[in-house]
Amino acid sequence: MGWTLAVVMTAAGGGTAVAQPPPQDLGAERRALMRQQLQAVRAIAPVAQGGGEPQSVREQAESLVATGRRKLELFPPGSDRDDDRARPEIWTHRAEFDRAGQALVEAAERLAAAAAAGDRAAFQPAFQATTAACGACHERFQFPQRR
């Protein structure tokens, strides 16, 4: 009897409500991703300054590639209310923002390749290019942090 009632109720539109997942907090995810990138850069910087072997920070360099790619997915239309540091230009100049994000990914790929190969000659300039790509994007598309 219970099964029949459930079928009838569902067919009549009176079935049990299915809980919807909470809306994704893209602002929180973006902030967490930025913190992850900052941790990777801080780990890599001493090696880029000659204080270690590039291979020792290969995972951190690879994480910059992965987080750089993911970041490009975290700014869909309408998500401008999720983050008080994201400038409106992210959405009004989307092609420029995507190019800036892709520049980070490409620089981080070169950094990860240099780290994996243990190539000191390529590692330091790749790190500089990666941090320059980060800075260029932040300058154009991120409000300064409030103090």
| 39 known ligand binder | no
Examine residue 122 and state whether it is found in any structural domain, yes or no.
yes
Examine residue 141 and state whether it is found in any structural domain, yes or no.
yes
| 93 known ligand binder | no
Examine residue 7 and state whether it is found in any structural domain, yes or no.
no
Average pLDDT over residues 2-29: 53
| 46 known ligand binder | no
Examine residue 3 and state whether it is found in any structural domain, yes or no.
no
The CATH code of the domain that includes 39 is 1.20.120.10
Q: How many structural domains is the chain composed of?
A: 1
Alpha carbon distance, N-terminus to C-terminus of the chain: 64
Examine residue 17 and state whether it is found in any structural domain, yes or no.
no
Examine residue 67 and state whether it is found in any structural domain, yes or no.
yes
Examine residue 12 and state whether it is found in any structural domain, yes or no.
no
Per-residue pLDDT reduced to its tens digit, 34-85: 999 999 999 999 999 999 999 999 999 999 999 999 999 999 988 887 677 8
- Measured at the CA of 100, the angle between CA 110 and CA 66, to 5 degrees, comes to 50
Put simply, whether the predicted model's pTM sits higher than 0.85 gets the answer: no
The answer to whether the beta carbons of residues 74 and 29 sit under 8 Å apart is yes
| Domain encompassing residue 53 | 27-76+90-147
